[in-house]
Amino acid sequence: MNDSDLRVLLDDMTLEEKIGQLLQVNSSFYNAGGLLTGPQQNEQFSRRQLELAGSLLGTVGAEHLIRFQDSYMETQPHRIPMLFMADIINGYKTVFPIPLAQGATFNPELAGACAAVAARESAAAGIHVTFSPMADLVRDARWGRVMESTGEDVYLNSCFSSAVVRGYQGGDVSEKGRVAACVKHFAAYGAPLAGREYNQAEISERTLMEEYLPSFRAAIEAGVKLVMTSFQTLGRIPCTGNRKLMRDTLRAEMNFRGVLISDWKAVDELIAHGVAADGREAAKLAIEAGVDIDMMADVYVNELAGLIDSGEVSRGLLDEAVLRVLSLKNDLGLFEHPYKDADPEAERRLMLCKEHRRAAHEAAIQSFVLLKNEGGNLPLLKSERTAFLGPYINDQNIVGSWTIFADENPCVSIREGVSRIVPEPSAVFLEGCSLLDKETRFAGFRGLADGKSQPDFSAREDEALKLAAGADKVVLCLGEHRQHSGEGGARGEITLPQVQTDFLKKTAAVNPNITAVIFCGRPLDLRNVVPYAKSILVAWFPGSEGGSAIADVLYGEACPSGKLPMSFPHSVGQVPVYYSDFTTGRPYCGQPDFRFASKYLDIPNEPLYPFGFGLSYGAFAYSGLSLDCDILTKEGTVNVTVTVSNTGVWGGYETVQLYLRDIAASVARPVRELKGFRKIWLEPGASAQVTFAITEEMLRFYDINMSYTSEAGSFVAYVGGDSTAADSVAFSLI
Ligand code: BGC
User: How many angstroms separate the CA atoms of 369 and 135, rounded?
Assistant: 21
* Angle, CA 132 vertex, CA 131 and CA 137 arms, to 5°: 125
225 lines ligand 1 (CB under 6 A): no
Contact, 42 vs 36, CB < 8 A? no
At 565-616, the pLDDT tens digits run 999 999 999 999 999 999 999 999 999 899 999 999 999 999 999 999 999 9
pLDDT at 453: 74
pLDDT of the residue at 413: 97
CA-nearest of 180, 280, 292 to 246 is 292
What spacing in Å lies between the alpha carbon of 263 and ligand 1's midpoint? Answer: 6
Task: Report how far ligand 1's centroid is from the alpha carbon of 559 (Å).
Answer: 36
Q: Which residues contact 14 (CB under 8 A, 6 or more apart)?
A: 77
With a 6 Å cutoff on the Cβ, whether 186 touches ligand 1 is: no
Ligand 1 near 264 CB (within 6 A): yes
pLDDT at 36 (0 to 100) = 57
Length of the chain in residues, anyone?
A: 734
**Best residue among 60, 87, 98, 189 to mutate for probing ligand 1, ranked by most atoms within 8 Å of CB:** 87
Nearest CA owner, ligand 1 atom 12: 87
Q: Is 184 in the pocket of ligand 1 (CB under 6 A)?
A: yes
Q: Whose CA is nearest to atom 7 of ligand 1?
A: 264
State pTM to two decimals.
0.98
Q: Three-state DSSP class for 342?
A: coil
Q: What angle do CA 692, 183, 70 make, to 5 degrees?
A: 135
Residue 58 CA: nearest ligand 1 atom is 12
Residues 527 and 540: their CA atoms lie apart, in Å, by 18
Distance, in Å, from the CA atom of 513 to the CA atom of 533, rounded to the nearest integer, reads 7
Assess contact for 276 and 321: CB atoms under 8 A.
no
> Which is the closest atom of ligand 1 to the Cα of 182?
10
Q: Average pLDDT of each block of 10 consecutive residues along the chain (734 residues)?
A: 96 98 92 56 81 96 96 95 98 98 98 98 98 98 98 98 98 98 98 98 98 98 98 98 98 98 98 98 98 97 98 98 98 98 97 97 98 97 97 93 86 97 94 92 66 83 98 98 94 97 98 98 98 98 98 98 98 98 96 94 97 97 98 98 97 98 98 98 98 98 98 98 98 98
Collapse the DSSP code of 158 into the 3-class scheme (helix H, G, I; strand E, B; otherwise coil) and give the result: helix
Q: Contact 438/451 with Cβ under 8 angstroms?
A: yes
Q: Quick count: other Cβ atoms within 10 Å of Cβ 531?
A: 10
* C-alpha 100 – ligand 1 centre gap (Å): 17
Asked if residue 347 has its Cβ within 6 Å of ligand 1, the reply is no
Contacts for 250 with CB less than 8 Å, ≥ 6 apart: 186, 187, 216, 227, 256, 260, 290
Helix or strand (DSSP H, E) at 465: helix 461-470
- Cα of 187 from ligand 1 centre, angstroms: 14
Question: What is the 74 CA–ligand 1 centroid distance (Å)?
Answer: 29
What is the crossing angle of helices 108-124 and 354-367, to 10°? 150
Interhelix angle for 154-169 vs 108-124, to 10°?
A: 30
pLDDT of residue 451: 65
263, 292, 395, 662: which is the annotated catalytic residue?
Answer: 263
Nearest to 187 by CA among 277, 130, 248: 248
| H or E segment to which residue 643 belongs | strand 637-646
Residues 6+ apart with CB under 8 A from 647: 619, 620, 621, 685
DSSP percent split of the chain into helix, strand, coil, nearest 5: 30, 20, 50
Please tell me if the CB atom of residue 487 comes closer than 6 angstroms to any atom of ligand 1: yes
Q: Does ligand 1 come within 6 angstroms of the Cβ of 722?
A: no
* Secondary structure, 3-state, 581-642: CCCCCCCCCCCCCCCCCCCCCCCCCCCCECCCCCECCCCEEEEEEEECCCEECCCCEEEEEE
Does the beta carbon of 87 sit less than 6 angstroms from any atom of ligand 1?
A: yes
Catalytic status, residue 662: no
Rounded Cα gap, residues 652 and 183, in angstroms: 33
Alpha helices in 13-147 (DSSP H): 15-21, 47-52, 62-74, 99-104, 108-124
Helix (H) or strand (E) holding 504: helix 498-510
Question: What residue's CA is closest to ligand 1, atom 2?
Answer: 263
DSSP-derived letter for residue 240 is G
Region label for 714, one of left (φ > 0), alpha (ψ between -120 and 50) or beta (otherwise): beta
Say what the pLDDT of residue 29 is: 86
131 lines ligand 1 (CB under 6 A): yes
**Strand intervals (E) in 177-315:** 180-186, 226-229, 233-234, 237-238, 259-261, 294-295
Cα of 86 vs centre of ligand 1, distance in Å, is 9
Report how far ligand 1's centroid is from the alpha carbon of 264 (Å): 6
- Cβ atoms < 10 Å from Cβ of 143: 28
Q: Is the CB of 263 within 6 Å of ligand 1?
A: yes
Which H or E run contains 536?
A: strand 535-538
**Residue nearest ligand 1's atom 6 by CA:** 264
> Which numbered atom of ligand 1 lies nearest the CA of 295?
5
Distance CA 190, CA 140 (A): 8
Atom of ligand 1 nearest to the CA of 134: 9
Q: How far is the CA of 64 from the centre of ligand 1 (A)?
A: 22
pLDDT tens by residue, 602-616: 999 999 999 999 999
Determine the distance separating the centroid of ligand 1 and the alpha carbon of 215, expressed in angstroms: 19
User: Which atom of ligand 1 approaches the CA of 296 most closely?
Assistant: 5
Sign, Cα dihedral of 657, 658, 662, 668: negative
- Whether the CB of 29 sits within 6 Å of ligand 1: no
